[in-house]
Chains A and B, each alone.
Chain A
């Protein structure tokens, strides 16, 4: 990697967004789980639609699960970036301090 470029402010902006997105996706998953009502579907669709109701409910469950997973994933991205940014900033500052100390010794 030729370039090493890091904008802690941009990272902080993204992690804040990631937190929000993660929360929204978690909310969406929770809301989607409210559609899991196979017995109600079967009442509406009758025996005729019972197979549909089963498949539909499975699909909705999968949907909610996928939203939840995506939410956790985005949250993890945010957290990883926060850690990364902190470590880089810390390392940079430590390097700077070390360099400053060295230059003082040389001076």
Chain B
């Protein structure tokens, strides 16, 4: 891993020079390669909530008001009970007073619960906000570093550094989210340990208190909120019924992304873009390295499954206490950074995932916030996604040419079929140039000695 401090240190010096370099000048717009790489991080970020540091005011105000109102009643109630006890003696008093004392005590416990709830809510919000802030920072750092890397890139190996940097950032973001998740599990179980609230209704009063005796202690069972997680909606076969190799699907997506990104880097943009893309892809294909794990396994649409799975391993039942014990291992196969042998990635990591985790080939990526509400209708069995769905925001040129990579005709609708043979296919310049209109020429002129 490259040291990032070196990159940061260089940044000021490069800022002037970068004006002439092929980086999208608008700081608000990510260059395509960065945009593709940052997307999984943004997806992760979207699971962390608003980032607000304080709990919602309406909720806290309501809980505070409830508690303080209940607490206000306590003193007068106690005094009244005391006065009553000292002046009332009878068989009725012997029966009633203990019950009234019990109720008074229970009311005190109930009103004490409000601050406890407020405290645990504040902690949960703090956990969420802290994680959100950290991931925001990770993303910002990645964007800044990646721009510097791209600005200095004159050849494909140098752009690999962007992927390295993205892998590091994504790994850090995942660690942050995992840590936050276990913290959140702790907050959730604190609610459990508070136990149920009880209000004891004296037997003699049940006829007067019809309907509100009992039934208080039970905790409403949360609905199976996560039961609609995406599962099985990924086409696993082609329209012809041929099973798709998940690794191949991921690789196809990676090709599109990287080549499209490479185009933007390019000089005489076409050949350079293709070369960069094919260089990266060849490297990935032959070594199954990091990029396969990060860009493919994460940036592709599988992330719409991977992130809910990361957040809530085990899916539907995680609202119960103790959700934390099942989560430690599951995400690893989804975000396997291939720390070990290089061959572990495309050949082993992706196919070893359960079928439901196979990368979704046509990448109808949910925008942040949509990832937990998959459309149940979106469950094609063997059918390619609708023509309009694939990657609308990707910098892939329309008509099936993805930045120098000739896609099969109708690529917009049937990407599962693009299995092989795309590498290195040159596309006429006219197909590519519109993609690279912001790219100054002649930056990667020396690229040929590397890959051609």
Interface residues, chain A, with chain B CB atoms under 8 Å away: 1, 3-7, 10-11, 13-14, 17-18, 20-21, 24-25, 27-29, 31-35, 37, 40-52, 54-56, 58-70, 72-74, 76-77, 79-81, 84
Residue of A nearest to B221 (CB): A58
Task: Decide if B48 touches A46 in the complex (CB within 8 Å).
Answer: yes
CB distance from A90 to the nearest CB of B (A): 15
Interface of A is mostly: helix
Task: Decide if A56 touches B120 in the complex (CB within 8 Å).
Answer: yes
Number of A-B contacts (CB under 8 A): 252
118-144 of chain B: CB within 8 A of chain A? 120-121, 124-125, 127-128, 131-132
CB distance from A33 to the nearest CB of B (A): 7
CB distance from A5 to the nearest CB of B (A): 4
Task: Decide if A25 touches B107 in the complex (CB within 8 Å).
Answer: yes
Instruction: Given A25-B70, A34-B62, A77-B96, verify A66-B110 contact (CB < 8 Å).
Output: yes
Interface residues, chain B, with chain A CB atoms under 8 Å away: 46-50, 52, 55-56, 58-63, 65-67, 69-70, 72-73, 76-77, 79-81, 83-84, 86-92, 94, 96, 100, 103, 106-107, 110-111, 113-114, 117, 120-121, 124-125, 127-128, 131-132, 177, 180-181, 184-185, 187-188, 191-192, 194, 196-199, 201, 205, 208-209, 212-213, 216, 218-223, 225-226, 307-308, 311-312, 318-319, 321, 323, 371-372
| Additional pairs, 10, CB under 8 Å, beyond known A70-B199, A73-B212 | A5-B88, A10-B83, A13-B84, A17-B77, A17-B79, A47-B49, A47-B311, A51-B188, A73-B209, A81-B96
CB distance from A20 to the nearest CB of B (A): 7
Task: Decide if A48 touches B311 in the complex (CB within 8 Å).
Answer: yes
Q: Which residues of B contact A13 (CB under 8 A)?
A: 80, 83-84
Task: Decide if A51 touches B184 in the complex (CB within 8 Å).
Answer: yes
Q: Which residues of B contact A24 (CB under 8 A)?
A: 69-70, 72-73
Pairs A-B, 6 closest by C-beta atoms: A46-B49, A34-B62, A32-B66, A17-B80, A7-B87, A35-B62
Residue of B nearest to A79 (CB): B208
Q: Can you list 20 A-B pairs, Cβ within 8 angstroms, ordered by A? A: A6-B88, A10-B88, A17-B79, A27-B69, A32-B66, A33-B62, A35-B58, A37-B56, A37-B58, A49-B49, A49-B124, A49-B127, A49-B128, A50-B312, A52-B188, A52-B191, A63-B114, A70-B103, A70-B106, A73-B103
CB distance from B196 to the nearest CB of A (A): 7
Task: Decide if B191 touches A73 in the complex (CB within 8 Å).
Answer: no
Task: Decide if B84 touches A55 in the complex (CB within 8 Å).
Answer: no
Q: Which residues of B contact A65 (CB under 8 A)?
A: 216
CB distance from A22 to the nearest CB of B (A): 9
CB distance from B174 to the nearest CB of A (A): 12
> Which of A21, A47, A56, A74 has its CB near the most chain B CB atoms (within 10 A)?
A47
Give the complex CA separation of A65 and B212 in angstroms: 9
Give the complex CA separation of A51 and B47 in angstroms: 12
Residue of A nearest to B47 (CB): A47
Residue of B nearest to A4 (CB): B90
CB distance from A11 to the nearest CB of B (A): 7
Task: Decide if B124 touches A66 in the complex (CB within 8 Å).
Answer: no
Q: Which residues of B contact A73 (CB under 8 A)?
A: 103, 199, 201, 205, 209, 212
Q: Which residues of B contact A84 (CB under 8 A)?
A: 92
CB distance from A38 to the nearest CB of B (A): 9
Task: Decide if B63 touches A60 in the complex (CB within 8 Å).
Answer: yes
Residue of A nearest to B55 (CB): A44
Partner of B184, one of A33, A34, A52, A67: A52
Give the complex CA separation of A27 and B84 in angstroms: 25
Task: Decide if A52 touches B65 in the complex (CB within 8 Å).
Answer: no
Give the complex CA separation of A49 and B106 in angstroms: 30
Give the complex CA separation of A32 and B58 in angstroms: 10
Q: Which residues of B contact A20 (CB under 8 A)?
A: 73, 76
Q: Which residues of B contact A35 (CB under 8 A)?
A: 58-60, 62-63, 66, 117
Task: Decide if B318 touches A51 in the complex (CB within 8 Å).
Answer: yes
Task: Decide if B216 touches A44 in the complex (CB within 8 Å).
Answer: no
CB distance from A80 to the nearest CB of B (A): 6
